[in-house]
Structure 1
Amino acid sequence: MDDNLSFLDAGFLETEDSDPHASLTIGALAIIDGPVPGQDKFRDTVAARFAELPHARDRVHTVPLDFSAPSWSQDPHFDLGHHLRRVALPEPGEEEALFGFVARVMAHRLDRDRPLWECWVVEGLTGNRWAVLTKIHHCMADGIAGTKLFEAMCDEVVAETPVTAEVGADTEPASTVSSWVESLVRSTIELLSPARQLRLVAAALAVPRRVTVAGVGAVNGFTHLLSEMLMSSTGTSLIGPIGRQRRYCAARVRMRDVREICTAYGVTVNDVALAAITSGLRQLLLQRGEHSGAHTVRTLVPVSVRSATEDCTVHNQVSLMLPFLPVDIEDPVEQLAAVHDRLTAHKARKEAEVGKAFTAVAQYGPFMPMAWAVRLATRFPQHSVVAVATNVPGPTTTRHVMGRTILEILPYVPIALRLRIGIAILSYTDHLVFGLTGDYDTTPDLTDLSDSIERGVLTLLTAARTAADASQ
């Protein structure tokens, strides 16, 4: 197993170091039916399943001045007790208290001196239910890998099959000056080694081939993606400085309803999800008395670029698209059509492939200048991206933990760099859940957004059925 973090994995650490208000952890909240298990039984279950997963017992080791990429090293003092926590909600254990707990836990940074994950048992939910909150640093896994890590805790043995996603602090100090020098010497030797130089040459030679295969469209895609990163969105309260505290809530819709809309209009699940988000953000802007223009809401849409051969890796395998959501359009069906057309255009420009090619080549370049470039870039206020919306396919069949049925799985995505709203979309059985993260001080109306997303899907469903009845 490669002990070095990939360039993209390390980028999440660099970003977190550059933004004192960010905690770049992803998470999943499982709502579970039945009696809560005892702490010893739960501990044994996690010890047997989760702690054996890649890097679950490893700490991140960094080199002074970012002279080389961070790496994983085994924690010699690994103690499961540092990672398993147990709390109880105050009576009556309603959802608002649960969501508040999730927001507080996820806003707190993980301890870099220990493996970068936590698992919380939450007791006291209404209706004889309990919950498990799994928290993992984004440098360990992307959304799809994170889902696989979560499934490893389940009773069912899940076959390894390719998954295709829809488009959808202080570092560890060197103990002495000599160890600091030793780290630099080792890094220099590694950087100048023949094997390293061969990889650099291979990567350089791969660039023309990648561009040739992708064609002129890839060049255009890179140019367009770069211009989108540099182009500011119009002024809106959806973007701006953020604090350390978070809000969290969720919107829930039925997958069967979403698929019915997909069939009626010839679109994808991700199209419907982003159209519902568009409707919700438009209502939020109008409620705030703001203009919902064509260039108001540019959204970062992570795209999985995992191939079948990369499906088992836990490294981040994502690229991105930066579409404007059509919040200027009032009609929900026209919104859906615009979302579909814009995502189709972004795919045609091969922007995701360009992003993957860049990170693949960056993996073999010298890490220090790239790391410093990331740190420098993140210190300049960005005015382009207003929100992040990521879609991850979850289990299609019911899962169990220690014989108890998992009723729901709610996702969590972090926010940083002036993004005040993050939306994670996760499917589970016949449910599609939107997990909404907001900056505490600037998104007091986050639940209004979740309500509007649910109404957006129902409005599209009604329109689809009305159109079907009219055609008969």
Structure 2
Amino acid sequence: MSELGPLDSGFMELEDSDQHVNAGIGAVAILDGNPGTRAEFTARMAQRISVEARLHQKLRRALWDLSAPQWVDDPHFDLGHHLRWAALPQPCDEPALWEMVATVMEQRLDRDHPLWHCTVVEHLAGERWALIVTAHHSMLDGVSGISLFQRFCDPTSDTAATRHEPDSGGASGWDWRAMLADGLRLPVQAPAALLRTVRAAAPLAWNAIVPESRSSLTGPIGRQRRYTVARVSLAQVKQIGAAFDVTVNDVALAAVTAAFRAMLLARNEEPDTETVRILAPVSVRTTDANRVLDNRVSAMLPQLPTELDDPVDQLRTVHARLNKHKASGEAGAANSILSLAKWVPFAPLAWAVRTALRFPQHSIAGLATNIPGPTRTLRLQGHKVLEILPYAPIAMRLRTSIAILSYRDHLGFGITGDYDTTPDLDLLADTITTTIDRLLDRCPQN
């Protein structure tokens, strides 16, 4: 058994606080050919999931939530609970697939069983099929989720299909020697660490609670979702980054900036310097922990320069603002707070999170998360994985989320929106692609 960490538990509380929220994250893999018979696919999937023990475990909550929920083996595990088959309506095109993705991701995972699910989608146009994989955010984050998907795929010469046992730190979930060492160092290190954390966390907390955004991007959300996709060339994004001396993430967020600006203008809303502040998760996962299924992310809350019209100005401003946030230690402060939270008893911590979630936030207008994906071509049950497209949920009055995932030579933007209040997701997707083209045209000629 192992306990959920504070952030893992927070995603459970987030879902419990709002009946309209499904805190599942996912990926949509598009593959060539067809999946074969259901019996064959199920048998092969049974072999794949045997390498990860967490996929056979469910959550058990303590009486009155006096301690953190624990992962325990499901004595009645049945793969049938986790596989569903579906077919697209004519013309079996990608818009129909995106609609199905939204429908699948609206549905909460059953907590009586392990918190993951796969939907096989047959008959996608172009002699293709799709696999929609979803898991609860309490079980994994984007980086560990992509690592898990790779373990679903066929092993290669440089990957080993060895069983991975969840890291529980011993039978009780604690490493007593590490705790003793930390305890001896704590009186010396704690005051300075606390001061650094408070200094860096103050701007983060201020940005999270000050009601700056009064646009249509924030507000109540319903149960239904919309989903669409934008695709750009990763080589072209890297070319833009090299030309302007910025990162791939800077270029991606500049395209997201232009997209939000276009959406606001189409809604007859004038974007200004305080309109679009986003939640930008930052991975703090080390390479050797990629296979561990949990959440290891911090966060920044940058403002996107939607007041600017020129794409190069947007790119340079995004780069400058992100550098400022990084230099401030904002992401490190958030991670330090989570580390300190591990020392707080679960019951008061859970109560504090539930109380905070009851207060509607008005300052954060969207979410944008960038996940590095596989650079090599994957195969699943012998089928070439043509694309992997990400899905990130919406919650806490954020009506739009954009997950960005690289795979091979492309960058995919998976865009999720509230069904009733974001009918214009296609405008976001179109603007992202056209902005990359505009930036490419503006690259200095060598």
TM range (shorter): over 0.9
How far the C-alpha of 1:219 sits from its partner, in A, is 3.9
Paired residue type of 1:220 = R
Q: 1:130 to 1:411 in 2, by over 3 A?
A: same
How far the C-alpha of 1:402 sits from its partner, in A, is 1.4
Question: How far apart, CA to CA, are the structure 2 residues paired with 1:229 and 1:447?
Answer: 28
How far the C-alpha of 1:200 sits from its partner, in A, is 9.1
| Structure 1 range deviating more: 35-44 or 432-441 | 35-44
- Cα displacement string for residues 53-98 of structure 1 (whole angstroms, at most 9, x for unaligned residues): 1310111001132210000111111100010111111122011111
Say whether the 8 Å CA contact 2:389–2:413 is kept in structure 1.
yes
Report the secondary structure of 2:55's partner residue: coil
Aligned length: 435
Question: How far apart, CA to CA, are the structure 2 residues paired with 1:319 and 1:158?
Answer: 34
Say whether the 8 Å CA contact 1:93–1:125 is kept in structure 2.
yes
In structure 1, the partner of 2:32 is 33
Report the secondary structure of 2:130's partner residue: strand
In structure 2, the partner of 1:85 is 84
Report the secondary structure of 2:54's partner residue: coil
Say whether the 8 Å CA contact 2:228–2:415 is kept in structure 1.
yes
Paired residue type of 1:11 = G
Question: How far apart, CA to CA, are the structure 2 residues paired with 1:205 and 1:25?
Answer: 38
In structure 2, the partner of 1:119 is 118
Question: How far apart, CA to CA, are the structure 2 residues paired with 1:401 and 1:420?
Answer: 33
2:301 matches 1:302: no
Paired residue type of 1:247 = R
Question: How far apart, CA to CA, are the structure 2 residues paired with 1:220 and 1:306?
Answer: 23
Q: 1:393 to 1:210 in 2, by over 3 A?
A: farther
- Cα displacement string for residues 369-415 of structure 1 (whole angstroms, at most 9, x for unaligned residues): 11011111111110111100000011101111111111111100000
Say whether the 8 Å CA contact 2:148–2:291 is kept in structure 1.
no
Paired residue type of 1:459 = R
Question: How far apart, CA to CA, are the structure 1 residues paired with 2:85 and 2:315?
Answer: 43
- Within the candidate set 423, 426, 430, 1:447 is matched to 426
2:271 matches 1:272: no
In structure 1, the partner of 2:412 is 433
How far the C-alpha of 1:301 sits from its partner, in A, is 0.2
Paired residue type of 1:209 = Q
Paired residue type of 1:133 = I
TM-score, normalising length from structure 2? 0.93
In structure 1, the partner of 2:67 is 68
Say whether the 8 Å CA contact 2:272–2:307 is kept in structure 1.
yes
Say whether the 8 Å CA contact 2:392–2:402 is kept in structure 1.
yes
How far the C-alpha of 1:158 sits from its partner, in A, is 7.6
Paired residue type of 1:76 = P
Question: How far apart, CA to CA, are the structure 1 residues paired with 2:284 and 2:431?
Answer: 31
Q: 1:395 to 1:77 in 2, by over 3 A?
A: same
Paired residue type of 2:241 = C
- Within the candidate set 187, 199, 204, 1:220 is matched to 199
2:229 matches 1:250: yes
How far the C-alpha of 1:291 sits from its partner, in A, is 1.3
| Structure 1 range deviating more: 42-51 or 409-418 | 42-51
Paired residue type of 1:15 = L
Say whether the 8 Å CA contact 2:415–2:429 is kept in structure 1.
yes
- Cα displacement string for residues 240-296 of structure 1 (whole angstroms, at most 9, x for unaligned residues): 000000000000000011000011000001000000000000011001000101010
In structure 1, the partner of 2:344 is 365
Say whether the 8 Å CA contact 1:199–1:364 is kept in structure 2.
no
1:337-416 correspondence to structure 2 within 5 Å: 337-416=316-395
In structure 2, the partner of 1:332 is 311
Q: Which runs of 5+ in 2 are unaligned?
A: 161-171
Q: 1:96 to 1:204 in 2, by over 3 A?
A: farther
1:185-200 correspondence to structure 2 within 5 Å: 199=179
In structure 1, the partner of 2:302 is 323
Q: 1:208 to 1:309 in 2, by over 3 A?
A: farther
Paired residue type of 1:356 = N
In structure 2, the partner of 1:461 is 440
Say whether the 8 Å CA contact 1:27–1:134 is kept in structure 2.
yes
Paired residue type of 2:101 = V
Say whether the 8 Å CA contact 2:22–2:393 is kept in structure 1.
yes
In structure 1, the partner of 2:189 is 209
Paired residue type of 1:434 = F
Q: 1:253 to 1:59 in 2, by over 3 A?
A: same
In structure 2, the partner of 1:238 is 217
Say whether the 8 Å CA contact 1:54–1:314 is kept in structure 2.
no
Say whether the 8 Å CA contact 2:233–2:410 is kept in structure 1.
yes
1:121-160 correspondence to structure 2 within 5 Å: 121-157=120-156, 159=158
- Cα displacement string for residues 307-352 of structure 1 (whole angstroms, at most 9, x for unaligned residues): 2453332110000000000000111101000000011011101111
How far the C-alpha of 1:201 sits from its partner, in A, is 9.4
Question: How far apart, CA to CA, are the structure 2 residues paired with 1:354 and 1:399?
Answer: 36
Question: How far apart, CA to CA, are the structure 2 residues paired with 1:463 and 1:400?
Answer: 37
Paired residue type of 1:330 = D
In structure 1, the partner of 2:95 is 96
**Alignment RMSD, CA only?**
2.3
Report the secondary structure of 1:17's partner residue: helix
Question: How far apart, CA to CA, are the structure 1 residues paired with 2:50 and 2:277?
Answer: 39
Report the secondary structure of 1:426's partner residue: strand
In structure 1, the partner of 2:41 is 42
Q: 1:29 to 1:207 in 2, by over 3 A?
A: farther
In structure 2, the partner of 1:6 is 5
Say whether the 8 Å CA contact 1:210–1:357 is kept in structure 2.
no
Report the secondary structure of 2:113's partner residue: coil
How far the C-alpha of 1:160 sits from its partner, in A, is 7.2
Question: How far apart, CA to CA, are the structure 2 residues paired with 1:194 and 1:43?
Answer: 38
Question: How far apart, CA to CA, are the structure 2 residues paired with 1:154 and 1:70?
Answer: 30
Say whether the 8 Å CA contact 1:207–1:361 is kept in structure 2.
no
Paired residue type of 2:233 = R
TM-score, normalising length from structure 1? 0.88
Paired residue type of 1:13 = M
Q: 1:461 to 1:21 in 2, by over 3 A?
A: same
Question: How far apart, CA to CA, are the structure 2 residues paired with 1:292 and 1:6?
Answer: 38
